[in-house]
Chains A and B, each alone.
Chain A
């Protein structure tokens, strides 16, 4: 498995995937006149992807030594809780209400990613206060000053 050993390899593979997706969506069962631009874009993406892949293969032949394991690009363990909070937040945003969900999202991110221990009560209260102040400022700014009417779900 020589393929996954550098980020260039992964990039080439991802590009090949994007090119395939672009080709299928813009050529399969579509009208030539309406999809003219998407088709041109898809073809150019494919050409560039091929260039990239050739480049990577050439470089692989040349450079002999690179690390043996897959490079650690993403710290999944750190990232996943944040992505989960984001996902739940966006999911509940319209159902529960913008301001209440945003408050909980803000507070959760602060608690999960704070530098100190999560159970530290003093810091916890500080984070709670900051979140509350932030949401009040946001409410005053958007609702009162800019008159942006976010949809109200169950709550605000």
Chain B
């Protein structure tokens, strides 16, 4: 709506200027002023046409804001996941029906971008954002953020990347039990790396320490890559990292367990933490999907909730995801809403007293 009134005003302004140009007063003006007015009019016309659209959503390309750097896992998965947005079949759109472009607004572990999204993004359905659960929920609990699960509306989930417990190739630990036994004898001597504070890896760390009753130290790395380096270089004794990254690096590290409810198809031989005797749920699994800000018209949300999962299911997209080792998990809007609420309660309990 907002966009449309703006366009109307612009068009009206252009018309008024054109009328003015025919008056006698205008004819008396100097060449220089005329040129200025002409230029202004043309700029206005360009502006009016770029913003204009007719009835019916969506009529122009849609943006997706990614709160992380270009080239990062969230960024390239978002680009692959939205590949099929404009695909047509028999002149009819299969999913959304418009191309999608990605805008990166990285900073402060994602807070910068999500704050902008909840606060300033247009609420007309032409700007979506990629979410990372549990990151943004944990941040909204710990920090004073402008976003929380109540002012964001999910429209679909494309991936789920569980955290895995890894140790270096030369580590004496071969099972989770080895590590827990050592930690019980030497409290505070085990260092565990992860991608940063209050991300999935940190959550997994907190859950492991709590469930096993051990005192282990968390060493935040510079992103998942930095955390992995600390494990490979032997600077830390263990680490939590993304399943997809760990599965690729299996020659340099040992993977002890998956912090999920079930074993993962990429690593069928690796047990879950639960199987290893540590009672941990899947709160640390990194879910990725798309959302819009609250205040977006309900029919737009409904349209996206219907078309976005279809877009994720495209065979080329799935193939590319597989090729890049990105674990796919497609969920509908209702499933994601339930998942968010569940995480909110679990994380509030876990993070209570941490800050």
Asked whether any CB of chain B lies closer than 8 Å to the CB of A4, the reply is: no
Given contacts A97-B47, A100-B47, A128-B39, contact A154 B32 (CB under 8 A): no
Asked whether any CB of chain A lies closer than 8 Å to the CB of B17, the reply is: no
Q: Are B36 and A154 in contact (CB under 8 A)?
A: no
Q: Which residues of B contact A100 (CB under 8 A)?
A: 43, 47
Asked whether any CB of chain A lies closer than 8 Å to the CB of B10, the reply is: yes
CB within 8 Å of A: which B40-62 residues: 43-44, 46-47, 50-51
Q: Complex Cα distance A121/B29, Å?
A: 14
Q: Which residues of B contact A154 (CB under 8 A)?
A: 6, 10, 47
Q: Which residues of B contact A152 (CB under 8 A)?
A: 50-51
- The smallest beta-carbon distance between B142 and chain A, in angstroms, is 14
Find A155's partner among B31, B32, B36, B43 (CB 8 Å cutoff): B43
Q: Which residues of A contact B39 (CB under 8 A)?
A: 128, 132
Q: Complex Cα distance A154/B101, Å?
A: 22
Q: Which residues of B contact A103 (CB under 8 A)?
A: 43
Asked whether any CB of chain B lies closer than 8 Å to the CB of A125, the reply is: yes
Find B35's partner among A125, A155, A156 (CB 8 Å cutoff): A125
Q: Which residues of B contact A97 (CB under 8 A)?
A: 47
Q: Are B101 and A149 in contact (CB under 8 A)?
A: yes
Instruction: Kindly supply a per-residue 1/0 record for chain A positions 50-70, scoring 1 wherever the CB is within 8 Å of any chain B CB and 0 otherwise.
Output: 000000000000000000000
Asked whether any CB of chain A lies closer than 8 Å to the CB of B106, the reply is: no
Instruction: Kindly supply a per-residue 1/0 record for chain A positions 121-156, scoring 1 wherever the CB is within 8 Å of any chain B CB and 0 otherwise.
Output: 100110010001000000000000001010010111
Q: Complex Cα distance A100/B46, Å?
A: 11
- The smallest beta-carbon distance between A130 and chain B, in angstroms, is 13
Asked whether any CB of chain A lies closer than 8 Å to the CB of B103, the reply is: yes
Q: Which residues of A contact B51 (CB under 8 A)?
A: 152, 156
Asked whether any CB of chain A lies closer than 8 Å to the CB of B63, the reply is: yes
Q: Complex Cα distance A103/B103, Å?
A: 24
Q: Which residues of B contact A147 (CB under 8 A)?
A: 101
- The smallest beta-carbon distance between B99 and chain A, in angstroms, is 11
> Considering only CB atoms, which chain A residue lies closest to B32 in the complex?
A121
Q: Complex Cα distance A152/B43, Å?
A: 13
> Considering only CB atoms, which chain B residue lies closest to A155 in the complex?
B47
Q: Which residues of A contact B63 (CB under 8 A)?
A: 149
Q: Are B101 and A155 in contact (CB under 8 A)?
A: no
> Considering only CB atoms, which chain A residue lies closest to B47 in the complex?
A155
Q: Are B47 and A156 in contact (CB under 8 A)?
A: yes
> Considering only CB atoms, which chain A residue lies closest to B49 in the complex?
A156
Q: Are A128 and B35 in contact (CB under 8 A)?
A: yes
Q: Which residues of A contact B35 (CB under 8 A)?
A: 125, 128
Q: Are B103 and A155 in contact (CB under 8 A)?
A: no
Q: Complex Cα distance A154/B44, Å?
A: 10
Q: Which residues of B contact A125 (CB under 8 A)?
A: 32, 35
- The smallest beta-carbon distance between A119 and chain B, in angstroms, is 10
- The smallest beta-carbon distance between A147 and chain B, in angstroms, is 6
CB within 8 Å of B: which A65-101 residues: 97, 100
Mark A residues whose CB is within 8 Å of B: 97, 100, 103, 121, 124-125, 128, 132, 147, 149, 152, 154-156
13 contacts between A and B (CB under 8 A): A124-B32, A128-B35, A149-B101, A149-B103, A152-B50, A152-B51, A154-B6, A154-B10, A154-B47, A155-B10, A155-B44, A155-B47, A156-B51
Mark B residues whose CB is within 8 Å of A: 6, 10, 30-32, 35-36, 39, 43-44, 46-47, 50-51, 63, 101, 103
